[in-house]
Amino acid sequence: MTRRTVTVIDYGTGNLYSVQRAFEVCDASQVIITSDPQKIVHAERLVLPGVGAFADGMRGLQSRGLDSAIREFVQTGRPLLGICLGMQLFASKGLEFGETDGLNLIAGRVEAIPKLTPSGQALKTPYIGWAALTPPENTTWQNTLLLPLSPDESIYLVHSYCFKPSQQANVLASYRYGGYQITAAVQQDNITGFQFHPEKSGKVGLRLLKSFLN
């Protein structure tokens, strides 16, 4: 296996060092944490992590000139992975604490997880815990980063808002909560996003990060 260099974007929010450590465990040759737009544009593999609110995340990117750098990187065709808030920022708009424009890399909106089941029972938010993922109907994870994931394995999530892509074809995986299918992963061309935290999902998550490296 060829060892790979991974660049992790530092924009003032995010699980930077746990992500760094996870990639080191996965035998990345180097993990670079940076706010330098040029290093981001020329990265071999790029990761946008993040925790917190959508608007804060976009302000962090824009104030450092990183939104343009990420868009330029995407045009190279090299792989980009978003984790948690990082995935949500791929969307066209986020509706957390008002409406905020996102990176618009994958068309769609980030909306609150429903607070009631279809029958009117209260749902706890944020969702915190482990969940099994399923691919969309009549699809598989062949040729995607989720190929190493088995149906009986779960990953770890913490979130109150979820990405709703405009095109169902961009939904890579979902999990079931309170009678709803909640988007857990998205994909478009060289862009993949995980709503869950692979760096906190034990050996399962590490397999998925190795998939990104390869």
Residues noted as catalytic:
84, 197, 199
Write out the residue range of the structural domain in which residue 128 sits: 5-213
DSSP state, 107?
A: -
> Domain count of the chain?
1
Alpha carbon distance 3, 100 (integer Å): 38
- In this structure, what token pair is assigned to residue 5? 């260099």
One digit per residue, pLDDT tens: the chain, 214 residues?
Answer: 566 899 999 999 877 999 999 999 999 999 999 999 999 999 999 999 999 999 999 999 999 999 999 999 999 999 999 999 999 999 999 999 899 999 999 999 999 999 999 999 999 999 999 999 999 999 999 999 999 998 889 999 999 999 999 999 999 999 999 999 999 999 999 999 999 999 999 999 999 999 999 8
Instruction: Report the C-alpha dihedral over residues 61, 63, 64, 66, rounded to 10 degrees.
Output: 40
Tally of residues, the chain: 214
User: What is the 8-class DSSP label of residue 178?
Assistant: T
- ∠15-193-208 over CA atoms, to 5°? 75
pLDDT at residue 2, as a whole number: 62
Strands 93-94 and 108-112: parallel
Q: Which tokens in the block code for residue 6?
A: 């991974």
Provide the 3-class DSSP secondary structure of residue 60.
Answer: helix
Q: Which helix (H) or strand (E) holds 184?
A: strand 180-188
Task: CATH number of the domain at 125, please.
Answer: 3.40.50.880
pTM of the model: 0.95
